[in-house]
Structure 1
């Protein structure tokens, strides 16, 4: 194989091993088995360590209900891949090829957005690696669909040359060489260099080399040669051209969402208990993004219409991939307010007794229940408007039985979502 003029790089293994990676503060390690969750506030940046033992095609995903996440992959302070989320989406993916080594995955919020963000490794597919035999040249071709080729070689007892040549007059290939013992990049060159020769000292270290040409519009042929310095040149190509095909990853699973399992919708609670206040409602037929699950797996942490809260897993249907949800600790429950009793020494004027039949008029959508327990399991319906006629009340006056399917209305709804008219003092006392 003819060797045209090229850059000459000498690599001294002992020097390379003495170069360390600068310590950087991060929020933990990112692995395929464990998604990372973060509460994004406008201007926040979260950084995670990410290590690849082998060059791989990687798909990263960031999802949120309110934040617009961005992704950046960096190595030794240089950005190697990014998803800037210019469209302002709540769910984004970054599909890229990364060589073996250590990286920083950086998550931020576009447009000063805020909210809970879940970061996960959707897939991590190792690329095929071709071993290099000393003295034997290998030929390959990079294409638009297969723009990366991986090679592996071991230092020899004597100094060796690693030669990469593109055979094209106007462009080269990008080369990155990684020491597999430390996963630290050892050397490299860019597509502006038509050919490169790297000299390695004697030794037994194992290296991987990534040859790539991202964004190419036409095929790029290249030769690779690993040869002792004493031999100077490789022999002619002794094997068929190497065809490097990137294995296409499986489509990323759909994000985890929930929808009410029955008509009437479900309450979104402030915490993972029916004793906490109602923060909102998830109507029938609507989907909410799931951000996490409670430690006992009984409640989902969701976001819907800018409302963050909790729904019981027993009253919703799950959709998408919910197998790797992060565990989220629910906040302390906020209980419904207790009415303040009037001072006993303050006389209260007795209002005149209302006349006419007792009648409840809805001023806002109101929940009614199958019994006198204000929990999701006993929710009968959410009445949107109209009038309800009571036909009895409990002895303690906390509940009214209605002529609507004998359902029950909590007394605290009167004055909040229901107005009362007529004479309700003579309703009979009934039991659920």
Structure 2
């Protein structure tokens, strides 16, 4: 069917939902912004055809957590949000066409209310060229939706104290999540705090790029026979971490990890993942260039989860035991390269690392940081920020160490280090720029 020039949810003009249904047989990119969001029908109309969607919504008395959860779990959708009632934009861009008007992404907005929206085409309307830039401005101001924030929103939405008035709801929601507002004409509103800006960049790196890539790889791998007998009955994340590290060391040594072709289509990535899974399943050497066999890897993660995640167990550890359990993180072991050879020339590399780490950090500081990172309250990404750049920072325990340890300690969050990110890049994902320090 041809697209209508106007959508007013009448038989004569067409219903707004048809803009999404009839956008073309193979749409590539969908940019959707609306304060109210209750239905995934327009999104699935696009993603079912292979379209990648960026969605901006507002936390409000109307936007339902069920709709957000469905969008969030769609691998082709990235979601960001505002909490501020000033966000009123209704803008939908699909490749080279756009719809601008009054309709929200709700059933009534798309099919029942007397809305009015106008179609713009890149080939015809000069105004079209300003729209992607306006969307990007909103996208950059909005906060990243992750599972922790979504759970808080679900909790708020179910609360018996939830107000229906929009302004009252804005104050109410800030009891659960931090404010997220678009730029306005108010002087100084374009300034975002350094901390918030960094944390949002961190969320984009991990929650929008690395976590979805990791989950896609694991899902495809499991479909293609992933699972060596040494890891039977264990958390799949343990073997996944070993697999990605093995990929980087054996299949992408040197710069080989960044020289494979980037793959934009999930089907192409699935073929490459399946190919390497077969090699992984048949190899006789899963520890090439590394320290740990499967049994040791499993024990290391068990120690992290038993002794470092339990504040009571953590408080009783000696420095030597604490150091031993931290070396279950490959990123921490890789710090061996930076330890001066002047420290105990006759000692093993591991002992020199322990001496160096103990010189730079007290037992009390290490316990305090590990307890905060793995058992603290609030948002995990914000805790990670504090441990990398803030008041909980340890010397010689940087971003890769923090994010790997956080992943082993939090079952909802995969572990990442530079080696695993390079393994993800080798599989075709565009994540090279996310390697810490590059």
- TM-score bucket of the superposed structures, by smaller chain: under 0.3
Higher helix share: 2
Higher strand share: 1
TM-score (norm 1): 0.21
